[in-house]
Chains A and B, each alone.
Chain A
Amino acid sequence: MSHLKFECETGNYHTFCPISCVAWLYQKISDSFFLVIGTKTCGYFLQNALGVMIFAEPRYAMAELEEGDISAQLHDFDELKRLCYQIQQDRNPSVLVWIGTCTTEIIKMDLEGMAPKIEELTGLPILVARANGLDYAFTQGEDTVLAAMAHRCPEYLPTKNAQAPLVLFGSLPNTVSQQLTRELENQGISVSGWLPETRYEELPALGSGVYVCGVHPFLSRTATTLMRRRKCQLIGAPFPIGPDGTKAWIEKICQVFDIQPKNLQQREMKIWENLKDYLSLVKSRSVFFMGDNLLEISLARFLIRCGMIVYEIGIPYMDKRFQASELHLLEKTCKEMNVSLPQIVEKPDNYNQIQRIRALQPDLVITGLAHSNPLEARGITTKWSVEFTFAQIHGFTNARDILELVTRPLRRNHHLKNLGWSQLVSSHH
């Protein structure tokens, strides 16, 4: 059997800055406040990327660094203390999350050193997450925040003759985390907590004897922190994206708890049955993932199971250990569906990718907003990748939502196909 091939390009690709994680995390953790310590550039990105949200009195703000801060004319400790007092007074959050940026990295601002001191002065817990564009891409921002949060979870005290606790990690909308919790409950496994919970004060207990399992493919730092620093046991499973992924995820957890899964096969089949109409639309269509949010492997695996052909999986960063089960399932899926293994391209080069897209003419390109319109104008159908980050795509219940997203451009273009104006650029670019 052939094995997956991994390539690495130049890293000249478009993605969102990891500070964008504040957008969904401040909504998930309802008693939090996120302070992004950075420049106008960071603020401008957040303001434009988050659009309307910015007007709804969001629980995040910029600590905008000015020239005096950069040249150390101002004392950063006093400055941060002043802002933190102000936030405490105005918003009274239960936790303050400092998001370190490229600038704080370069000027080596000692956020980790200052946070405990200001925490002591204000009595307000302060977490530090370095979600910067020097080290991370887009969704990895959440990883840095959750890794920092893992340190703040209370210590687990073992109780006798109870099931070993299971903590799931990864931020999901409350409805979706509830759905996954119930899927496991149906198998007789109770979830003792989520990292993060809806409130900071409800963070789950962690420690030796606690099992942890991730729901997002981009949480490798959090996983490492949970294992190494909190002595938890990691359940390495494929991610619950698509019915196939969800089934494999539950199976793996059941296996760890020594439980024989009930009705799982039927449950999966029923979901596939419900997807029939969409499956006929995607069957034998080809997909190209340009790569920007680290969900790519799981989505590609699901789409291959749906009958699609994946040419290339671009991905910002590939943790082969954390994603081992997912990669294995991808290989297995390709074999079972009798399609060749896709190229996995780490740190892709968007320019090269566009040349390949031109040569391959895939039926669908999953890409960021920077390339969507130009590709559409050249007659190439695209799906905006960021939507997968914000849509509900986890568990059995939401499998349909993924296909709704994937098929939308195909359905739209199907409606317009006879109008004769799919190529909308004038010259040969």
Chain B
Amino acid sequence: MKLAYWMYAGPAHIGTLRVASSFKNVHAIMHAPLGDDYFNVMRSMLERERDFTPVTASIVDRHVLARGSQEKVVENMTRKDQQEKPDLIVLTPTCTSSILQEDLQNFVERATVHTNSDILLADVNHYRVNEFQAADRTLEQIIAFYLDKENISYQKTEQPSVNILGIFTLGFHHQHDCRELHRLLKDLGIQINQIIPEGCLVTNLKKIPQAWFNIVPYREIGLMAAQYLEKKFQMPYVATTPMGLVETADWIRQICLLVRTQSVFVKDGHPKKMDFEKYIDQQTRFVSQAAWFSRSIDAQNLTGKKTLVFGDATHAAAMTKILVREMGINVCCAGTYCQHDADWFREQVQGFCDQVLITEDHTQVGNMISQIEPAAIFGTQMERHVGKRLDIPCGVISAPIHIQNFPLSYRPFLGYEGTNQIADLVYNSFTLGMEDHLLEIFGGHDVKTVITKNLSTDHHFTWQPSAINELQKIPGFVRNRIKRNTEKFARSKNIQEITVDIMYEAKEAFSG
């Protein structure tokens, strides 16, 4: 048993649901008690999703405990098959079904007899894996399910093409990143074969092997699928994250290499010639503003500033490298909560930071922050709140995230536009350069004069102690307004002494 207040990675079923609901026309049925379908709320609220989230629960209740849930689950699957006619139904176990140990695979087989949809039981164990690992596994499982099915005959596309693996619902800036990758690949003359799973039909998965190779932008989810495809179809993959100028360049070079080695697929032996190096140079120096920004005098003030970076392995590693290598900022501590990928993370940030922190315990991160006292933090929403408490600015670079991290405007973290966004984020997170100097030279801003917004003329009224007491119970941010309204009301009624009753009467008279 563990005392816990907060977690960075969600439970396994969330990962499975993120994969299932990202595909088009796939329905997930959770085997779960009432109230476990909170995923639907998150998707509907955070992503501001217009469509009904294709997730239903087959409710586990007392009856199920007594009699088993076979009938119910099978019925729910066949019903959903008729109602929504999905291509695939993913039966999703939860922590509850993990301990019930019912033979869900058997239910799947029973239901399959009556349905047109394919049905698959997500192979995830709640107590062994977290959200990311489960998503990674489920994605591989679904892809393998469709590719193992029959003898896939395929032909590579004429022009170089890729699959992007791992664009998801509720992913940190995934939609924007996907658009940016799309743009980059188009510039490079590479077609996108399939984007998986976001918006993808499972019936199109059999086209996966037509691509020349795969791209896995985020390490957490997609790697297992890429490895499967490499083994099964000898498809190579690029697992570098094109985040930051150096890594983006590296990513392009890897792609370039793959295009060259794979060009046997092209009938005349040579794909369209493209000067990748020239492209990288152009983009770096002139299209992206980030390279110039870091040389501009404004950014000089960032030199050697202390920061702490924490997040998922992909974003925390990339961010650490950007801050140190591309901006000259001092990363005192880089950390991740992806404990299962700790070795990779250590290797990535080695030489870039003073110390590495691998933990799932947010209090440990909080303690580290208060110990280091960095000038800025780059982390998750939790670090943002720690920063608030300690009065340290924080840029959010990784999930877990809030609704404000699902911006409507175009905010990629990847590619060349991503470097601009990151530069802005970094710059705005620190106290602005010149402002910093002025504060030091002139010893701070003006002393704050107290400006009260209290317009009521107190001396006209006597507030009874009980009424004052009542007033104190009202949350601070509306207290003054309530006070003013009450006095306005009292004035209109020619009342001198304000009692609790008068307060309530005033509330009834006004809209509050």
Contact = CB atoms under 8 A, between A and B. Distances in A.
A138 B36 CA distance: 11
Contact of A43 (B4, B44, B470): B4
A370 B35 CA distance: 11
Interface stretch (A55-63, A203-211, A219-227, A229-237): A55-63
Interface string B36-54: 1110111011001111110
Given A12-B56, A69-B1, A425-B51, A369 B44 contact: yes
B119 to A, nearest CB: 18
Nearest to B466: A178
B79 to A, nearest CB: 8
A196 interface: no
Interface stretch (B93-101, B278-286, B293-301, B333-341): B93-101
A60 B1 CA distance: 15
A67 B1 CA distance: 9
B44 A397 contact: no
Contacts of B152: none
B4 A11 contact: no
B36 A41 contact: yes
Given A133-B35, A175-B473, A374-B49, A103 B11 contact: no
B500 interface: yes
Chain A interface SS verdict (over half): helix
Interface size class of B (residues with CB under 8 A): 35 or more
Given A66-B127, A134-B60, A370-B40, A397 B507 contact: yes
Contacts of A106: 65, 96, 99-100
Contact of B4 (A45, A64, A368): A64
Interface stretch (A46-54, A119-127, A253-261, A326-334): A46-54
Contacts of A37: 1
A135 interface: yes
Contacts, number: 187
A408 interface: no
Contact of B385 (A55, A83, A138): A55
A69 B2 CA distance: 10
Interface in B75-130: 76, 83, 94-96, 98-100, 126-128, 130
A369 B96 contact: no
A17 interface: yes
A351 interface: yes
A271 B34 contact: no
Interface string A81-95: 011001100000000
B1 A76 contact: yes
B14 interface: yes
A190 interface: no
A14 interface: yes
A153 interface: no
A103 B38 contact: no
A53 B281 CA distance: 48
B440 interface: no
B225 to A, nearest CB: 24
B501 A61 contact: no
A212 interface: no
B474 interface: yes
Interface of A: 11-12, 14-20, 37, 39-41, 43-45, 47-49, 51, 54-55, 58, 61-67, 69-70, 74, 76, 79-80, 82-83, 86-87, 102-103, 105-107, 132-138, 174-175, 178-179, 182, 270-271, 274, 351, 354, 368-374, 377, 396-397, 400-401, 404, 424-425, 429
CB-CB nearest 3 A-B residue pairs: A17-B35, A133-B33, A370-B40
Given A51-B402, A138-B35, A371-B44, 9 more contacts: A17-B35, A41-B94, A62-B4, A103-B99, A270-B508, A351-B83, A370-B53, A373-B49, A400-B512
24 contacts: A11-B61, A16-B35, A40-B7, A41-B11, A41-B126, A45-B36, A48-B42, A49-B38, A51-B402, A54-B5, A58-B5, A61-B3, A63-B3, A83-B1, A103-B99, A106-B100, A134-B60, A174-B473, A370-B41, A370-B53, A372-B44, A373-B48, A373-B49, A396-B508
Interface of B: 1-7, 10-11, 13-14, 32-38, 40-42, 44-45, 48-53, 56-62, 65, 76, 83, 94-96, 98-100, 126-128, 130, 382, 385, 388, 402, 470, 473-474, 500-501, 504, 507-509, 511-512
